[in-house]
Amino acid sequence: MLTKLEYLEKVVKATKLYEDKRWHLMCFAIPIEKNISDIRKENYFPILLSDGFYYYNEENTTENKLEKIVDYNRNEPLFRYSDEIEIDSTWMTNLSQKTKTRIGIMIINLIVFYSVLGKRAPFLNEEITTDKIEKLLAKKVRNPDEMTSDSISVQEMCKIIDRVYFLSNLSDIVNIASTEKIISPPPGINEEKKRLLKEYEGQLNDPVKVVELENKLLDYDSRYLADDPAAKHLLSSKTRDARKKLYGIFGSGLDFAGNKPKKPVINSLNEGLSVTEEDIPIYFNDLRYGSYSRGFATKKSGYTYKILIRSLTGITIDSTPCNTKKGIKRMITEKNYIKLLNRYIKRGDNWILIENDTQAKELIGKEIEIRSPMYCTKEGNKICYRCLNEGYKDQPNAVSNIASEISAVFMGMFLKLMHNTKLESRNIDLEDLTY
């Protein structure tokens, strides 16, 4: 007989059952009771019988190879991904000390990194997102001639990406598809809207006042959803703005008249469409403009790419550093520090390479001088890789990558106009407009 934790430890150390969806269904969902004849004779595979939770132990020398998990509670999952445990190097050899973590985090590390890299695998003891995995791969993936002790090869990267996709198979266990709150309006939203409309009476031809009204309705909705697990994990800025239209006010929408101020549609979609002569065109133009932007207007991004390629095609990236002494000055913040990775900054009379997040974070709140193509001293149509980015070393024709990145911004902008558009206001400091 074993406890749940002892069973989990054996699974991690002796098997790779965590790579089998059937095991996740048995351990992290409430299992269906089976007959003893239905037992899978797979080592350490769990099954629920009428008198408790068992696993099949081939190593048991007795005739009965079923071992009971003694602390299982009926009508509950055996484990939850949020359960906290303490593990050490006997569980995963890439750990240097005892580590408190959650079962879900450990399993993601096991599946995505440890099963591929072994002792070289990083252990991410935090909320793990695809964005974080991509950034880690971007920093560590190297060509064969550049490999170091903590590098990741291209072949290993492909295996890691495949394993990330495997995790999507667990969505029917993990994901919260819906809750009462996420599909219903905040109680009292209509009364709150009436109060705010009285407060802003006669002011809604001013876009700034419209933004204030919308933000107050969004704040009201956010307070209602504050403790909702589905809202925490499923709602993006796009879907939160959709809730504003659904339960607050529809707003001004988009049209082909540019930034001409107009009175917003006060009705929410939940209240029904307003059929007045002033409001019907706002609905139609919002739909038409979104469809136009997503379909026809995206050609502008392709055209932009062609222009950029024609203008940059003669530029090559030189693998020999230039002798520039000057860079561009930038204030480093929480939002832009990540862009310092693989860039050179000035320290005294020397240029220092920023190689990792830790070095970049230390510069937050400081004004620094960054090496830039603006001040590269290479002659002719050349830019040295150090003025551009360390990642462009030995990539003489990679300027086209920069052109495609710029045009991708335009593509994203036009695609988002179909979904994620809202009126916003910004305070402008006159000092930001001066040089």
Per-residue pLDDT tens digits for 318-328? 999 999 999 99
Q: Is residue 302 part of a domain?
A: no
Burial 243-278 (b: 16+ CB within 10 A, else e): bbbebbbbbbbbeeeeeeebebbbbbbeeeeeeeee
My answer on whether 286 and 196 are in the same domain is yes
Closest CA to 200 of 217, 215, 212: 212
List the pLDDT tens digit at each of the 435 positions of the chain.
889 999 999 999 999 999 999 999 999 999 888 888 788 888 899 888 888 899 988 887 777 888 899 999 888 999 999 999 999 999 999 999 999 999 999 999 999 999 999 999 999 999 899 988 998 898 888 888 888 888 899 999 999 999 999 999 898 888 887 889 988 999 999 999 999 999 999 888 888 888 889 899 999 999 999 998 888 877 877 788 888 889 999 888 777 776 555 778 999 999 999 999 888 988 888 888 888 888 888 888 888 888 888 888 888 999 999 999 999 999 999 888 988 988 999 999 899 999 888 899 999 999 999 999 999 999 989 999 999 998 888 888 888 877 888 888 888 877 777 665 556 666 777 766 654
Q: Is residue 425 part of a domain?
A: no
My answer on whether 241 and 334 are in the same domain is no
Residues in the chain: 435
Q: Is residue 284 part of a domain?
A: yes
Final residue belonging to a domain, choices 260, 295, 330 = 295
Task: Report the DSSP pairing between strands 84-87 and 99-102.
Answer: antiparallel
How many domains in the chain? 4
Which pLDDT belongs to residue 433? 62
My answer on whether 252 and 287 are in the same domain is yes
My answer on whether 216 and 276 are in the same domain is yes
Strand, coil or helix: what is 99? strand
Which pLDDT belongs to residue 435? 46
Burial class of residue 399 (count of CB atoms within 10 Å of its CB; 0-12, 13-18, 19+): buried
Q: Tell me phi and psi for residue 297, to 5 degrees.
A: -75, -20
My answer on whether 321 and 289 are in the same domain is no
Q: Is residue 305 part of a domain?
A: no
Which pLDDT belongs to residue 356? 82
Report whether 308 contacts 403 (CB < 8 A).
Answer: yes
What is the amino acid identity at position 224? Y
My answer on whether 348 and 318 are in the same domain is yes
My answer on whether 347 and 411 are in the same domain is yes
My answer on whether 162 and 194 are in the same domain is no
Which pLDDT belongs to residue 261? 57
266's tokens: 């006060």
Q: In the β-sheet with 52-56, what is the strand arrangement from edge to edge?
A: 46-49, 52-56, 66-69
What is the amino acid identity at position 80? R
Domain extent, residue 49, equals: 4-69
Which pLDDT belongs to residue 405? 80
Interior angle at CA 326, CA 325 and CA 332, nearest 5: 130
My answer on whether 196 and 290 are in the same domain is yes
My answer on whether 89 and 65 are in the same domain is no
My answer on whether 276 and 346 are in the same domain is no
Final residue belonging to a domain, choices 295, 325, 359 = 295
My answer on whether 195 and 290 are in the same domain is yes
Q: Is residue 254 part of a domain?
A: yes
Final residue belonging to a domain, choices 124, 139, 173 = 173
